[in-house]
Amino acid sequence: MRLQEDEELIRMLQATGRGDRRAFKAVYDRTSPLLFGIVLRILRNRATAEEVLQDAYLRIWRGAASFSAGTGSPLGWMAAIARNRAIDVARQRREVLVEPDEDGRDWLESIPDPRSDGAGFVALRQLGHCLGLLEDSHRRCVLLAYYEGYSREELAVRFDRPVNTIKTWLHRGLAALRHCMDGAGP
C-alpha cells in the first residue's frame, strides 16, 4: 500500500514539475494536513505555521522537477522542506517554545529529519500530526513530561496549576493522541 502511495505521489510531483496545477493541487490536498502538523508542532503558532506552510509549498512547486525517487520518499522530501523552513523561521523570530535542556541543547535539533528513517518516520509523522491537534497546554505538558522528563510537580510549578490539573491535562492529551494514532481521527 505504501509503495503504491509513494508511486502515485511521485507521478503527481513529476506532473507538478512540468507545471501541472491540478497535480500540484492533488499533492497539496493529500499532504497538507501532515505538513501543517509538522510545522505547527515546531512553531506553535497557527498563523505563522500557515505562512510557513505556504512558503514550503511554493518551494515544493519550484523544486518538484528536481525531486528524484532515489533520494527517498516523496513525502519525506516534502516533510523535510516544511520542517527545515519552520526551523529557519523559529530561529529568525527567536521564538522560545521549549527551553533548552540543562546541557543547553537546541530542542529544534532534536526534531528528527523525515528522510532519516522511512519506517520509523511513518509513526513519527502521525504523532506530529496528532500532537498538532492537541490544545496548546495539553501538548506542551505531554512534550515536557514524556520528552523532557518533567515530573507532575515540576509541571504544576511551571504552568502555575495544581498537580491534579496537570494530571488531567496529561490524561486528556494522551487519550487524544491514542485516539488519533489509532486512526480514529482528531
The CATH number of the domain holding residue 108 is 1.10.1740.10
Choose the weakest-confidence range: 35-44, 55-64, 142-151.
142-151
Each residue's pLDDT tens digit, 85-127: 998 888 777 544 445 555 555 545 555 555 555 444 556 667 7
Q: Does residue 47 sit within a domain? A: yes
Instruction: Give the count of domains, the chain.
Output: 2
Q: Is the predicted pLDDT of residue 35 greater than 80, yes or no?
A: yes
51-55, 70-74, 120-124: which has the highest mean pLDDT? 51-55
Q: Does residue 129 sit within a domain? A: no
Q: Does residue 127 sit within a domain? A: no
Distance CA 186, CA 178 (A): 10
Contacts of 117 (CB under 8 A, 6+ apart): none
Q: Does residue 36 sit within a domain? A: yes
Grid cell locating 88: 529557519
User: pTM of the predicted model, to two decimals?
Assistant: 0.54
Grid cell locating 30: 493529500
